[in-house]
Amino acid sequence: MNRVLSSLLAFTVMVTPALGRTQGAGSAAPSAATAPGSSAAPPGAPAPGPASPAAAPSGGSAAPSPGSPAPSSGAAAPDAGPTFQGIETVDGRSLPGRVVEQKPGSYAIVEREGGQKEAVDWSRIARIDGKPPPPVAPAGASSLIPEGFTPARVSKIAEAGEKLTDVLPGLFAPKDGSQLIGSVKGAQDALEALGLKRGAPNGFMIGYPLVMMPLCFDASRGTIGRVDGTGFLGSLCNYVIVPISVGLLVAGPFLSLWSEEQELAGPTVHHIEASVYALDYSKKSALTGSLNREPSGGFLGNNLGYDFGYSYIHPTVGIVGYGHLTLQQTSISRTDFLQVSSSFFKADAQAGFDAIRFLSKGKKDSYWSQHTAFFRAGPSMFHNWILSRDVSAPGVGAAVDNPLNNSIGLVTGLGYELAAELDFRFPEVFGWSLGGVHFKFERGSYPALSFPDLNPRQGAFVALIGFDDLRQGDSYTWQRLKLELELPINYSRAGGLFFGGQLVSYENNFGSGVDNRGLSLDYRLRFE
């Protein structure tokens, strides 16, 4: 019996400390079986050391029970638990996983359990791995984000792209002259919406089309294409030269050679004007008996007109020197075997007086120094002729000996012209230009006429198409009324772009003549 009691006592001595340690790890309160101040060790056992604070279980700490030893003042703070790994969004959604890629300002990618990856837009991210997302770097020299690149900017670029898609067919395959002019302006507006600055036009980019496009008209409809005997020049014009010329007209206002120079501050002295305009055609006749005597048509056939002018205005006195060239090319008729066109050329050399320049004395600080209003007069001449071309088969229009390939002069006139012109700038509002208006009225009288001699075949052909009445009378009159608005964006005194319309008419005193309406683009260059 004594041996059994001795074994139980030894077992109790060994087990009791282990139970106390297990209970202390699970609860801050001491065992209820141990009285306050008593020791769990049996008599004779060494006294325990200072009590260590019990570790609080995860999720909170229990209050100590009465009589338990107070924790020491140097004890460590309780652990807050592991940090959330993944992405937390601004709407409260949590995406646990490993963040494998971050592009500040764009997106972040988190790899979920199982290897599935999910991208989150940067604007929706609240925290990454428990921390705020890195800030987005501002646009600058070291940033890949262009300055001013915003969602609104992206939408604007998309709209400009749609506009370019709409106008490209009208640039390189126009159905008529009106579509061509409208497409040139539409493409320029789209480029401006993309952020290109429109300023003074580039002289070469405007001058080249004004030379090549009229030559190409004659090469495909007249007699210039016969120089090589094959018609190659006409094909080269249709597929290479004309598309390049149209592209230059679009890009001209955006690639000025003078764009890097300082803005002009004073009155401008030298003015260059270059115009391209679409035309319709309406002939009137004093003779009756033939429907062919009054042909008319819209802008079909790429009927185009071209103007090139130079003006010198004295910087203080306002004396004006003026020179101007006009060329109009229209398609009259086309059948399966014959094409008939008409060309009109006019040249002027005039002198005049600018009233605004004279009154403002050309002062640089004067509001009126940017405006002009002048009258001019001087000698003028014109020449009108018709072109015919055999189009029945490829290559026949280039044959030199084909009787249907003709260039026949109708009438040449000498006389004088009177004109008035106003170029007025609208005032700026809050620093924004409102553009300007340009008005021109010209009237020429031509009492001296010359009718080129025609051989019998040419005379019969002119009568057949109904143009013999233009070889009648002893005087001609020519007049033009033109009204245009200068586009207000990025106005520069060094030049600009005008868009408007015009009415043109010329008539002999026999009662026959031609009326035209035009839709025009004017390119202006100004120099001090």
Half-sphere exposure of 236 toward its Cβ, with a 13 Å CA cutoff?
Answer: 11
In the prediction, which pLDDT does 376 show? 94
pLDDT in tens, 141-171: 445 555 555 555 555 555 655 555 665 555 5
In the prediction, which pLDDT does 483 show? 92
With a cut of 80, say whether residue 196 has pLDDT above it.
Answer: no
Measured CA to CA, the distance from residue 412 to residue 346 in angstroms comes to 10
Alpha helices in 106-176 (DSSP H): 151-172
Q: In what order do the strands lie in the sheet with 86-89?
A: 94-96, 86-89, 125-128
pLDDT in tens, 465-510: 888 888 888 999 999 999 988 876 555 677 778 888 899 998 998 8
Contact (Cβ atoms closer than 8 angstroms) between residue 500 and residue 485: yes
Of 33-47, 185-199, 312-326, 496-510, the one with minimum mean pLDDT is 33-47
Helix, coil or strand: residue 57: coil
With a cut of 60, say whether residue 233 has pLDDT above it.
Answer: yes
* Stated length of the chain: 528
Contact (Cβ atoms closer than 8 angstroms) between residue 231 and residue 391: no
In the prediction, which pLDDT does 255 show? 66
Query: Among candidates 409, 299, 304, 313, which has minimal Cα distance to 355?
Result: 313
With a cut of 70, say whether residue 8 has pLDDT above it.
Answer: no
Paired residues of 101 in beta bridges: 109
In the prediction, which pLDDT does 72 show? 45
With a cut of 80, say whether residue 463 has pLDDT above it.
Answer: yes
More confident residue, 130 or 10: 130
In the prediction, which pLDDT does 6 show? 47
With a cut of 80, say whether residue 459 has pLDDT above it.
Answer: yes
Strands 117-121 and 406-425: unpaired
In the prediction, which pLDDT does 404 show? 78
Contact (Cβ atoms closer than 8 angstroms) between residue 423 and residue 378: no
pLDDT band at 319 (very low <50, low <70, confident <90, very high): very high
More confident residue, 188 or 424: 424
Sequence-separated (6 or more) residues with CB below 8 Å from residue 12: 42
